[in-house]
Structure 1
Amino acid sequence: MPKTERFIETVTALARIGAGLSFAVLIGAVLLQVIGRSLGNSPVWTEELTRFALLFLIAFGAGLSLRSGDMVNVDIVCEALPGRWPWRLRLLSALATGGMALYLLPHAWRFVSIGRMQSSPALGLKMSYVHVTVFLMLALLVLFAALRVLGMLTGTEDGTPEKAEDI
């Protein structure tokens, strides 16, 4: 297996693990909330934890959805065009997504650094641990968009969404 494919599989697996762990924490916190409310006393920190877990789920899942093609697409318009136009538009889309996310990365990092001066009310976490989700989401979008562009330019992929059986 070439190093590039191994790298892509590793990054994809780590993002899936991150999304899975975030979802597990979300499920656990909501379950604890429901059980606590049924018994009359729900821990107050579960509200915050569910929001934070959802942010991490989105951060890990955005790049994965770009990779798999589960993001909103206009395939019906794009794929109806003649010749290489669909390929060109998929490449342009990946470049635009990656470029926009790359542009926003330093601003997201400033947002993370502001969080060092704040803490969450119920859990007492430094908000930089929560704000890093924005940076993580953008970084993964840059990475997965760059991998798509690289794959398209080298001919190892055509930029179309992965099939369900490939995932």
Structure 2
Amino acid sequence: MSDREQDIEEALEVLTRVPRLGGPLGRLADLLGRVLLALAVVALVGLSLTVLLQVSSRLFLPFTVAWTEELTRYLFIYMVALGAGVALHRHRHVNVELFHGWLGFRGRAAYLTLISLLIFGFTLIVLPQAWKFAQIGAFQTSPTLRIPMIYVFYSSVLLFGSLLLYSVVGMLEGVIALVRGERAADSAAAHEVT
């Protein structure tokens, strides 16, 4: 990536200037993010192959493969559930940047803390309900694949669980940045360069 592209990305991604969480917890969050992202990519590749099989069967076979539409739906659901927490941690979620550029370092850190706190509160409320929803699937099976629906419904638990975890990480990053100030961000950036 060229310097100009990096400058443009930094201008658009104001929250990336808040230093990431370091230490064992930061490494664990990054490792979990890589695992979740790898599984989301596997789900995307599986989804693509399933759609390709579905289209090919409709064009070239005298019959259609009935289970492909259902599997495509489930893979899409899991792809989103696996990637949502990673998107939150990498600040890639949808947001409206009306005033981010005006904020100083501590303002961005406070904003990150506030947004992470709101997401934390929301997921804390929704997660028990997602678990109850997943339990409903224990007594159902999917129409064509005949798999227990608890595995499909569990995606909501995974989604809100990862959002809860990464909102805690975001709150920690924001609070630490607020306490340490911009000097810590400069020293962290200098440490990354060396």
- TM-score, normalised by the number of residues in structure 1: 0.86
- Return the letter of the residue paired with 2:46: V
Q: Residue 65 of structure 1 contacts residue 71 of structure 1 at CA under 8 Å; is this kept in 2?
A: yes
Question: Which is greater in Rg?
Answer: 2
Partner of residue 27 from structure 1, selected from 40, 43, 48: 48
Partner of 1:162: none
For the residue of structure 1 that corresponds to 2:141, the secondary structure is coil
Which of 151, 154, 160 is 1:132 aligned to?
A: 154
Paired with 1:111 and 1:34, the residues of 2 have a C-alpha distance of 33
**Structure 2 residue aligned with 1:70, among 81, 92, 97?**
92
Structure 1 counterpart of 2:131? 109
Q: Deviations over 1:51-108 (max 9, x none)?
A: 0000000001111111111111122323324673333222111110121012111100
Greater share of residues in helix: 2
Structure showing greater relative contact order (alpha-carbon pairs closer than 8 Å, 6 or more residues apart): 2
* Distance change (3 Å), C-alpha of 1:83 and 1:35: closer
- Root-mean-square deviation (Å): 2.2
**Is there any run of 5+ residues in structure 1 with no aligned partner, and where?**
159-165
Q: Following the alignment from structure 1 to structure 2, what is the Cα–Cα distance between the partners of residues 66 and 9? A: 12
For 2:102, the equivalent position in structure 1 comes to: 80
Indicate the residue corresponding to 2:65 in structure 1. Answer: 43
Distance 2:108 2:48 in 1: 40
- The answer to whether residue 141 in structure 2 is matched with residue 119 in structure 1 is yes
Which deviates more, 23-32 or 66-75? Answer: 66-75
Verify the 8 A CA contact 1:36 1:43 in the aligned structure 2.
yes
What is the CA distance between 1:157 and its match in structure 2?
10
Letter in 2 for 1:23: L
Q: Which runs of 5+ in 2 are unaligned?
A: 1-21, 183-191
Letter in 2 for 1:103: I
Amino acid at match of 1:109: W
Identity of aligned pairs, percent?
30
Q: How many angstroms apart in 1 are the aligned matches of 2:105 and 2:158?
A: 36
* Bigger mean CA offset, 126-135 vs 1-10: 1-10
Partner residue, 1:163 = none
**TM-score of the two chains, using structure 2 as the length reference:** 0.75
